[in-house]
Amino acid sequence: MLLTLHIIKIESGDYRAHVMEGAQHLGDYEASSIREAILLAAENPLPDLAGFHLWYEHVCAGSVSASNMRIDPEGLAQRLMALHGQFKT
């Protein structure tokens, strides 16, 4: 199963993450950074969870396995921030 993790910056040090399965909203949580939001999602104990479509505001880093999210949350967060900087709306 692939879920969608959509991270939104509320203000510096305050992020909200939404977890979706298709159009179904599964839940929200708060995090202090993009990295923390990625780690919190990757720790989800769902047995069929393969990974997430990883979004930060209006950009997507693609589909990422839960294990890669646990191994390199900082690298994924940097990738999302770099993409975000390239495509400011």
pLDDT tens digits, one per residue of 19-40: 999 999 999 999 999 999 999 9
How many CB atoms neighbour CB 72 within 10 A? 15
Q: Per-domain residue ranges for the chain?
A: 2-86
pLDDT number for residue 64: 95
pLDDT in tens, 39-65: 999 987 777 888 999 999 999 999 999
| Residues 24, 65: Cα–Cα separation, whole Å | 20
Could you tell me if 7 and 16 are in contact, meaning their C-beta atoms sit under 8 angstroms apart? yes
Class of domain 2-86: alpha beta
pLDDT number for residue 2: 93
pLDDT number for residue 89: 66
Show the DSSP H helices in the chain as ranges.
Answer: 34-42, 66-71, 73-86
With CA atoms as reference, report the closest residue to 37 among 62, 4, 85: 4
